[in-house]
Amino acid sequence: MAGIGEASAVMGVVSLGFGIAAALNTYVSGVAAARDDVSSLSSEIEATLLHLKGLRKLLTQNERTQAWDADGLETARGAIRDCENIIIKL
C-alpha cells in the first residue's frame, strides 16, 4: 500500500512542478536578457516531472507486480524526495 501513497505524493509534486514550469514560461516571454537560461531551466523541470510521472506509474504497478526489491523502492523514494525538495526550493 506504500506505493499508492508515494504515487499520490508524486502527483502532487508533478502538479506543482508543472505549475512552476508554466509560470517560468510566462515569465521568460517578458525577460529578454535571461530568456535562454530561463527557457532551458523550464524545459529541464518539465523533463524531470515527466520522469517523475513515469516513476509514479512504476510504483503503482509495483503494488501488483512486486518487481522491485527493497533497495529499488528506497532508490525510487529517494528520487521522489530529492525532486520534491528541489521543486519546493524553486
Tell me: the pLDDT tens digits for 29-73?
Answer: 766 666 777 788 888 888 888 888 888 889 889 989 999 999 998
> In this structure, what C-alpha cell is assigned to residue 62?
509495483
Lowest mean pLDDT among 6-15, 25-34, 76-85: 25-34
The 10 Å CB-count burial string (b at 16+, else e) for 5-22 is: ebbebbeebbeebbebbe
**Helix H or strand E encompassing 32:** none
pLDDT of residue 31: 65
The domain locations on the chain are: 2-89
The dihedral of CA 44, 50, 53, 58: what is its sign? negative
Give the largest CA-CA distance in the chain: 50
pLDDT of residue 30: 65
